[in-house]
Structure 1
């Protein structure tokens, strides 16, 4: 069957089975070739819906059945890759969502001889759909290598809510259409200016050592976070430290282990501010980055810094400071992709946690004065001392 016939068959199957479906919840007939997979049984339900389609007369719907925000479900299909080997394939559809707490998006995966090692993959995690959104056409684009055996595609939802899918298309496209492959080496992105969470990033040349963004002294790109315990990104998208701690990125959610503490955060961006909230080590985390201030809270620790608009810093950075009179008592620079409307969630979280929630003096600054010494023993540098500093 050639490509056009396959496409027509898929669309006709979707419309025909939708027209004959009965409103009986999970027992509704699904379009031929489509099915539901989920992280645990009875958490998600797929059906057909004719109430408000984006295109045509019917939509397929994926809906959460529980309030558990940790699960995921996908409405998907799988087919042989033989017709698309050596080609660039675009999967597109019209999608709308309602009350999605977590994230949703289209996804496509190209499998080879080993299903555990996908050849190409994208689930829109860098442009996840959250909340309630009206009809819009989205797409994922992947190259299909000659060794490909199967292609899987559909819509995924993590957490709770409902998503609708229609107008499904599979198109072979030429090289002028960029791939969205998360397993490929994407171009490095830098910020267009310091004032901006409102400005879109600018694409620059790819270089493994070229920073994509920076928080304090911790820089990152698409494959590395250069903190004191560096993290690197594996081919499967998992970030792994030199201590073998793993951090996972699921759309706006960042989970895993950092500093031997369990991590469960969400990165909410896309407007004039970026908000990160959740828990780390059982303590509540709340971080706010805006063009005016930076606030970092974890349990009882708080850093609250105002942006210094007069600071002479690199053009892609915002400098945030706290002062006690003329003295700077805390300082942190947020640069590049870390302060754009689309920061990479995992890298941003790792970089912020690596800087910590306690005030940090800027380099080459005088220490904050302490209380006066009230005894001779406090100045004794001959007993129990370390480099001339009393170890009381």
Structure 2
């Protein structure tokens, strides 16, 4: 009986795993889309007195999250910043800042930070974006694709590396939490790196040349 139950339950278990994986992939893709499209405007849901100086709150539903400085848990120094989901939190929230790209134009830049997670059911991570003077997105990447953190994890470093175009006007950086849990961030660094350090934006699988432009090549 136990064997029969195991064998008959395996398809259901597999289907549930595939469903969860699909939902997780959708969440990552949707978060990436929103972060790369919206203007990352500051939200007024957080009291500035609770935020680290120079940083602001943004996201798709920042009202579902809490933000602040933690003086009890940190990687170095005496404080870290955190995002904590409220009960039933949806969407995502980010603690971010923006600065001029002048000092980084034409250079390869790495954003790095130490992150720590507790009971994160979806994912948390870093993001980096370069805009032109009209707020058009020139470059964007986050750590959602295989470089995020989830569950409960000790301090670990995450990185995003991008080239800053000559027409770059502003650089936006941030750490992010999607869904339930809490994430801490500490020791953020923005630095120029050599061209030997690869960019992290994932373009694997993208074809080198256009194809089937006359639509006569059949279907996938």
Relative to the length of structure 2, the TM-score reads: 0.69
Partner residue of 1:169?
A: 189
Partner residue of 1:57?
A: 78
Q: Does structure 1 retain, via aligned residues, the 8 Å contact 2:123–2:149? A: yes
Of 62, 65, 68, the match for 1:44 = 65
Q: Does structure 1 retain, via aligned residues, the 8 Å contact 2:111–2:159? A: yes
Describe the SS at the equivalent of 2:103: coil
Partner residue of 1:85?
A: 105
Partner residue of 1:34?
A: 55
Q: What displacement does 1:27 show?
A: 6.6
Rounded to whole Å, the distance in 1 between the matches of 2:139 and 2:56 is 21
Q: What displacement does 1:181 show?
A: 2.1
Root-mean-square deviation over aligned CA pairs:
2.2
Matched, 1:153 2:186: no
Of 152, 155, 163, the match for 1:143 = 163
Rounded to whole Å, the distance in 2 between the matches of 1:208 and 1:39 is 34
Describe the SS at the equivalent of 1:180: coil
Cα distance, 1:156–1:144 mapped onto 2, change above 3 Å = same
Describe the SS at the equivalent of 1:73: strand
Rounded to whole Å, the distance in 1 between the matches of 2:207 and 2:91 is 36
The C-alpha deviation readout for 1:360-387, integer Å capped at 9, x for no partner, is: xxxxxxxxxxxxxxxxxxxxxxxxxxxx
Partner residue of 2:137?
A: 118
Q: Which has the larger radius of gyration?
A: 1
Relative contact order, higher structure (CA 8 A, sep 6+):
2
Taking the TM superposition and a 5 Å limit, the aligned residue runs for 1:182-331 are 182=202, 185-186=203-204, 208=208, 230=220
Q: What displacement does 1:229 show?
A: 5.9
Q: Does structure 1 retain, via aligned residues, the 8 Å contact 2:62–2:92? A: no
Q: What displacement does 1:26 show?
A: 5.5
Cα distance, 1:41–1:172 mapped onto 2, change above 3 Å = closer
Q: Does structure 1 retain, via aligned residues, the 8 Å contact 2:66–2:83? A: yes
Describe the SS at the equivalent of 2:179: strand
Rounded to whole Å, the distance in 2 between the matches of 1:135 and 1:113 is 36
Higher strand share: 1
Q: What displacement does 1:40 show?
A: 2.7
Q: Does structure 1 retain, via aligned residues, the 8 Å contact 2:62–2:93? A: no
Rounded to whole Å, the distance in 1 between the matches of 2:163 and 2:130 is 8
Once superposed, which parts of structure 1, at least 4 consecutive aligned residues long, lie more than 6 Å away?
none
The C-alpha deviation readout for 1:179-201, integer Å capped at 9, x for no partner, is: 1124xx34x5xxxxxxxxxxxxx
Higher helix share: 2
Count of residues in Structure 1 that have an aligned counterpart in Structure 2: 166
Describe the SS at the equivalent of 1:42: helix
